[in-house]
């Protein structure tokens, strides 16, 4: 499978074509999202606070095995001023109760009922149909996976970065006034991958999952990724 560096060359060319055909991306805030490790670790709240100071937009707390009490305890370990920038992936009913930013579902079909007050709604999208469905229910989506994630299960994405990029660009053309925020997701864990995504005119930011956590230097790794965006 092509590496992020190979895709960077392709996406640079595709980005130029996109700007010519569809015009520049709307002037919206570029966001940087970071997913938590699936297991808690010592000093996490201090590191997350530091990441926010360095420009992190939202911290995605993804703890599949945690119950509501554990999530509540973790959130309360953060300074109150930062809690409104935390996105949950489990227990959407806690969002309003704890004053958090919102909820992200693993797919559009997993979004909670509209009766649940869960703030900013986000979902992972893997196809054009997913994005079209999400635009009616979400404020933002994560489109991917774009690249092979070497640090996780090494499963080859069902669609190539080329196909997903074309999907996003087509959506932008079809719905030019849509306020939907679209973030690059999946394997966007290296400087070259971030740079490749930046070359496109269709993403509002990127989400890093395991990339910053691999070697115990989360803050420095985060800074390196942001420099490429």
Predicted TM-score (pTM) of the model is 0.83
Tens-place pLDDT, residues 127-182: 999 999 999 999 999 998 888 765 555 555 677 777 888 999 999 999 999 999 99
Beta bridge partners of 87: 60, 102
Of the two residues 69 and 188, the one the predictor is more confident about is 69
What's the pLDDT at 13? 44
What CATH code is assigned to 4-228? 3.20.20.70
Length of the chain: 229
**CA–CA separation, 215 vs 130, rounded Å?**
34
What's the pLDDT at 28? 44
pLDDT above 90: percentage of residues in the chain: 61
- For residue 188, the surrounding DSSP H or E stretch is none
Tens-place pLDDT, residues 87-131: 999 999 999 999 999 999 999 999 999 989 999 999 999 999 999
**CA–CA separation, 25 vs 152, rounded Å?**
32
What's the pLDDT at 23? 41
- For residue 208, the surrounding DSSP H or E stretch is strand 205-208
What's the pLDDT at 187? 82
Q: How many CB atoms lie within 10 A of CB 27?
A: 5
DSSP one-letter string for 26-63: PS---EEEEEPPSS--TTHHHHHHHHHHTT--EEEE--
Tens-place pLDDT, residues 208-224: 987 798 788 999 999 99
205-208 and 181-184 beta bridge pairing? parallel
**CA–CA separation, 34 vs 100, rounded Å?**
15
Burial 145-170 (b: 16+ CB within 10 A, else e): bbbbbeeeeeeebebbbeebbbbbbe
**CA–CA separation, 36 vs 60, rounded Å?**
6
What's the pLDDT at 156? 58
Cα angle for residues 111, 76, 205 (degrees, 5° grid): 50
Question: Is the distance from CB of 114 to CB of 120 less than 8 angstroms?
Answer: no
CA dihedral (208, 125, 177, 167) in degrees, to 10, reads: 100
């Amino acid at each position: 499978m092509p590496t992020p560096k190979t895709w960077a060359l392709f996406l640079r060319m595709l980005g130029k074509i996109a700007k010519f055909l569809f015009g520049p991306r709307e002037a919206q805030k570029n966001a940087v999202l970071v997913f938590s490790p699936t297991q808690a670790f010592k000093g996490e709240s201090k590191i997350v606070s530091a990441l926010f100071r360095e420009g992190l937009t939202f911290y995605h707390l993804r703890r599949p095995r945690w119950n509501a009490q554990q999530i509540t305890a973790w959130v309360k370990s953060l300074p109150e001023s930062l809690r409104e920038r935390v996105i949950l992936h489990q227990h959407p009913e806690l969002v309003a109760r704890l004053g958090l930013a919102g909820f992200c579902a693993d797919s559009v079909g997993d979004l909670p009922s509209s009766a649940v007050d869960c703030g900013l709604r986000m979902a992972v999208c893997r196809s054009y149909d997913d994005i079209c469905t999400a635009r009616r229910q979400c404020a933002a989506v994560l489109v991917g996976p774009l690249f092979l994630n070497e640090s996780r299960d090494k499963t080859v994405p069902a669609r190539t970065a080329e196909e997903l990029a074309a999907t996003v660009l087509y959506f932008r053309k079809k719905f030019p006034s849509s306020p939907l925020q679209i973030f690059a997701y999946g394997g966007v864990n290296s400087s070259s991958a971030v740079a490749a995504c930046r070359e496109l005119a269709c993403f509002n930011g990127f989400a890093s999952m395991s990339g910053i956590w691999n070697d115990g230097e989360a803050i420095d790794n985060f800074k390196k990724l942001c420099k490429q965006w």
